[in-house]
């Protein structure tokens, strides 16, 4: 029994990433996510220690594990240290690590998947997390506005169609009578 964890090999801050991208703007850099296997049939604390060592993040860092398919955060650090990870992780499932930025009240303000930002997986995971948490990104707001505009223009067209159909059907009824 195992689970996959995907992650970005070299974790960098946003500032470092900007500097690197500006220096390498001429060169094409192909970034890929890495993955490793974990045994969910082990205590949560051992799993957290192993993940931190493997990925290179501090154990005190605010992070969580996210199901790639659903965007569900497992709240792994809130579990008892001796609870087995099988209580929240499904065998043969793929997960990603997500850094959490919290405000002074402990509310999550930002989700940052530890993935290469240019990959589709990163965008999809972030979208699923935000959808589950109820937070809307500006991109999703714009998409929703665009869909609403299309619906309103389609409903105007369909109401014209309905009126024509009603008129035509009422004429047909009169002709039948």
In a domain, 155, yes or no: no
In a domain, 85, yes or no: yes
**Hey, CA dihedral for 49, 66, 72, 42, is it positive or negative?**
negative
Query: What pLDDT does 140 receive?
Result: 46
In a domain, 43, yes or no: yes
Which 8-state DSSP code applies to residue 155?
H
Which domain covers residue 40, as residue numbers? 3-10+32-132
User: Do 167 and 159 contact (CB within 8 A), yes or no?
Assistant: no
In a domain, 143, yes or no: no
* Residue ranges, the chain, pLDDT below 50: 13-20, 22-29, 137-140, 142-143, 161, 164-170, 172-177
Query: What pLDDT does 9 receive?
Result: 80
In a domain, 25, yes or no: no
- What the block records as the tokens of 108 is 């999550």
Plot region of 20 (φ>0 → left; ψ -120 to 50 → alpha; else → beta): alpha
**Count of domains observed in the chain:** 1
Query: What pLDDT does 32 receive?
Result: 83
Query: What pLDDT does 157 receive?
Result: 52
User: Do 45 and 90 contact (CB within 8 A), yes or no?
Assistant: no
In a domain, 165, yes or no: no
Of 16, 3, 136, the residue nearest 67 (C-alpha): 3
pTM over 0.75: no
Residue 124, domain CATH? 3.10.20
From residue 141, alpha-carbon distances to 111, 135, 136 in Å are 18, 10, 7
Query: What pLDDT does 133 receive?
Result: 84
Query: What pLDDT does 147 receive?
Result: 53
């Amino acid at each position: 029994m195992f689970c996959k964890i995907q992650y970005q090999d070299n974790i960098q801050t946003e500032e470092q990433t900007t500097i690197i991208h500006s220096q390498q703007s001429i060169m094409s850099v192909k970034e890929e996510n890495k993955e490793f296997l974990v045994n969910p049939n082990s205590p949560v604390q051992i799993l957290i220690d192993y993940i931190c060592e493997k990925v290179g993040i501090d154990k005190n860092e605010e992070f969580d594990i996210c199901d790639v398919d659903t965007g569900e955060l497992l709240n792994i650090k809130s579990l008892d240290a001796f609870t087995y990870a099988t209580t929240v992780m499904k065998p043969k499932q793929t997960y990603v690590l997500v850094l959490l930025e919290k405000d002074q009240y402990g509310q999550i303000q930002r989700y940052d998947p530890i993935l290469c930002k240019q990959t589709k997986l990163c965008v999809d995971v972030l979208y699923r997390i935000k959808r589950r948490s109820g937070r809307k990104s500006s991109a999703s707001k714009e998409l929703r506005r665009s869909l609403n505009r299309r619906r309103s223009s389609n409903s105007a067209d369909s109401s014209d169609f309905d009126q024509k159909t009603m008129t035509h059907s009422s004429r047909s009824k009169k002709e039948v009578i």
